[in-house]
Homo-oligomer: A and B are copies of this chain.
Amino acid sequence: MTTDLTIALDAMGGDLGAGIVIPGAELAAIRHPTYKFLLFGDRAKIEPLLDRYPRLKARSEVRHSDVAIGMDEKPSQALRHGRGKSSMWQMIQAVHTGEAHAAVSAGNTGALMAMSRFILKTSPGISRPAIAAIWPTLRSESIVLDVGASIGADASQLVEFAIMGEAMARCLFGLTRPTVGLLNIGVEEVKGLEQVKDAARLLREMKLPMEYVGFVEGDDIGKGTVDVVVTEGFTGNIALKTAEGTAKQVATYLKLVLNRTWVSKLGAVLAGSAFAALRDRMDPRKHNGGVFAGLNGVVVKSHGGTDELGFATAIDVAIEMVRNGLVEKIAEDMAALNSPQLQVAE
């Protein structure tokens, strides 16, 4: 299967639509020379762009759709308006029928999640899917979930997130027993939300391919204290956006201070390769791709405002998830969780 994957792309999604999706797919086509692409969207917009990339064109099939989901449509509205006929719907449908192995869209997150859930359904035993972010850390990268699929989570849903995250870490980082932490305020057992404490108890007792290490705090995410950080979607989304904002803030400070004197400007020129390395390391395009975990199929959400490099990264993430069997790994662990002999350690 890994030599002949087909990836479905929503060519209408994102702030720039086909203008970044097609060049992004070309980059992915170069990296993965045997893979095929299904491009969903307005043929009149896709084909002129595709003509510029003969390599991609030879391995792509365009599936025309008149309807594109707007970035501001509410999920319920998008489901009504886009059902059956939108590029986003048809892209997910291709994963459902098995025609494609994964779907990638830079479109409306809420609509993409609502449609993915509607068409693909949640995996056995999973009550609610999550969006998992791949977070750059001082150690390497970690998985943080949920970063906004839904608000609030009870203890058993947090446990499900831990399983999805652990499976993702095994797929993406090649670990056999990823470390897992629950995001909390303060590391002492006494602190935190009831559902987080209950989830901690459940995780400690479980025999699954993960090493539950306890509570972690906000600053542990960037340190890379654990491979998988588990939290509910409201807090996770705010943590993600706050980190993005802080990184931009520090980068802006750095630019400001380096431009203050000619000596520091000269220093900045000499240290140019270092700053290029820093920009590279902090480049959000290299960490693009929110994985929809817990569904019967792989769907990856690209940032709406990214460029072709970022979109190609999101395609890479989707490919890794398919190649390493994310859906299967989650299903296996959920089955193990519900099997009585493996359920609880004691």
Bound Cα distance A223, B249 (Å): 7
Does A209 lie at the interface of the complex (its beta carbon under 8 Å from any beta carbon of B)?
no
- Beta-carbon contact of A242 and B267 below 8 Å: no
Which residues in window 218-268 of A have CB below 8 A to B?
A: 218-223, 231, 233-235, 237-254, 257-258, 260-261, 263-264, 266-268
- Beta-carbon contact of A271 and B267 below 8 Å: yes
Q: Which of B74, B190, B266 makes the CB contact (< 8 A) with A74?
A: B190
Does A118 lie at the interface of the complex (its beta carbon under 8 Å from any beta carbon of B)?
no
Number of copies: 2
Q: Whose C-beta in chain B lies nearest to the C-beta of A273?
A: B264
- Beta-carbon contact of B247 and A218 below 8 Å: no
Q: Whose C-beta in chain B lies nearest to the C-beta of A244?
A: B219
Given contacts A271-B268, A281-B253, contact A239 B242 (CB under 8 A): yes
* Chain A interface bracket (under 10, 10 to 19, 20 to 34, 35 or more): 35 or more
Given contacts A245-B219, A249-B138, A253-B281, contact A238 B183 (CB under 8 A): yes
Bound Cα distance A137, B246 (Å): 9
Given contacts A218-B237, A221-B242, A264-B274, contact A185 B257 (CB under 8 A): no
- Beta-carbon contact of B246 and A274 below 8 Å: no
Bound Cα distance A192, B250 (Å): 28
Q: Whose C-beta in chain B lies nearest to the C-beta of A225?
A: B245
Q: Which of A235, A237, A275 has the most CB of B within 10 A?
A: A235
Given contacts A250-B251, A250-B282, A266-B270, contact A185 B233 (CB under 8 A): yes
Bound Cα distance A252, B224 (Å): 13
Residues in B whose Cβ lies below 8 Å from that of A272: 264, 267
Given contacts A185-B148, A253-B282, contact A218 B240 (CB under 8 A): yes
A130-164: CB near B (< 8 Å → 1, else 0) gives: 00000001100000000010011000000000000
Given contacts A257-B274, A257-B278, contact A222 B248 (CB under 8 A): yes
Bound Cα distance A290, B35 (Å): 55
Q: Which of B221, B253, B273 makes the CB contact (< 8 A) with A245?
A: B221
- Beta-carbon contact of A247 and B250 below 8 Å: yes
Does A335 lie at the interface of the complex (its beta carbon under 8 Å from any beta carbon of B)?
no
Bound Cα distance A281, B217 (Å): 24
6 A-B pairs, CB-CB below 8 angstroms? A185-B233, A218-B241, A220-B245, A222-B245, A264-B272, A268-B271
